[in-house]
Amino acid sequence: MKIGITGHTQGFGKSLYDVFNSQKHDTLGFSRSNGFDIGNELVRKKIINEIKDIDVFINNAYDPQGQIDILEEILSCWSGTEKIVVNVSSIIVHKESPYFEGEIAVYRESKIKLNNIIKNYNGSVKIINIIPGLMNTNFDIIPINFDRSNSIDTDALAELIYVMIKNHNNFFIKEIIVDNNGTFKSKI
C-alpha cells in the first residue's frame, strides 16, 4: 500500500507516518519542514501530482484553509476512483470558550467547513474523518494550561487508523470521534 501524509514530522502526523513506515508501506511525507506548505497553491499542485498513484492520502497538516483546499483538490483529482482519504480534523472550540479569539476563531470556522465538505461528499473516494479530542501533542489548538491528564495517546490512535485502512474492504467507518477521556466512537 502506498501512503501520502501531510504534517508528518511532528505530533499526530509523525505517529501516523511511523506506523505506516514500520509496516513497510511506501510512505511519502509532505510537511513544511521538507518544503511542502499546503497553504501554498503551487505546493498543493506539486503534492497532488506526486500522489496520483498512491492508495491512501492522510490530510493532517495544520493550515486552516490549506487543509480545506487540498481536500477539495484531491477529491476532484481522484473522482471516479476508490482511493481512501483520511482527514484529521479536530475538536471545535465553542464560541463561548474563554479561548475563542483570533487564530482559534479562524481555526474553528475552517473545521466546520472541512467537516461539512466531508459530511456532504457523495463520490467514490472513501473518506474517514478523524475527530480527535485532546491529544498528547504540543500542537493542540487548546491552550497549554488546559488539563491534559486525560489526553489521547497519539500512537494508539495512529495504530487504530492503520488497522481501519488495512481492513477497509471488510468494514468501513466514516468517522471516528475521540473524546477527552480517550473513548473512541465511530459512525458507519
**DSSP class of 144:** T
Mean pLDDT of the chain: 78
pLDDT at 86 over 80: yes
Report the Cα 168 to chain-centroid distance in Å. 17
**DSSP class of 53:** T
Tell me the C-alpha distance between 137 and 139, whole Å: 5
**Percentage of the residues of the chain whose pLDDT score is greater than 90:** 38
Using DSSP, state whether 142 is helix, strand or coil: coil
Backbone angles phi, psi at 112, to 5 degrees: -65, -45
What's the burial of 186, exposed, middle or buried (CB within 10 Å: 0-12/13-18/19+)?
middle
pTM score of the predicted model: 0.80
How many other C-beta atoms are found inside a 10 Å radius of the C-beta of residue 67? 24
Q: Give the mean model confidence (pLDDT) for residues 36-50.
A: 95
122-147 exposure pattern, b = at least 16 Cβ within 10 A, e = fewer:
eeebbbbbbbbbbbbbeebbbeeeee
Cell numbers for 132:
480527535
